[in-house]
Amino acid sequence: MSAHCQLTGSKPGFGSNISHSHRRTSRRFDPDVQRKRYWLPGEGRSVRLTLSARAIKAVDSIGIEAAVARIRARGGKV
């Protein structure tokens, strides 16, 4: 599963691990992405979305229909 949110578009950030001796190695900061299933009453079917934890809270707030409309407006496939 790619660490990419369909609603907010959040992707992994990159940075460095810094050891005690100050040597740097690459690391990756992944968003908290989860696969969640929602029922779309307007289309009479369920959809499975890859969402970050922040996006799941946004869906609870704005509703699944508005969230799917935003994903489609960004060019995402649902």
Q: How far apart are CA 7 and CA 58, in angstroms?
A: 9
Please give the pLDDT value at position 2. 81
| Residues 21-56 pLDDT 10s | 999 999 999 999 999 999 999 999 999 999 999 999
Long-range pairs for 70-77 at CB < 8 Å and ≥24 separation? Answer: 70/7, 71/6, 71/7, 74/9, 76/6
Please give the pLDDT value at position 61. 97
| Residues 47-73 pLDDT 10s | 999 999 999 999 999 999 999 999 999
Please give the pLDDT value at position 1. 55
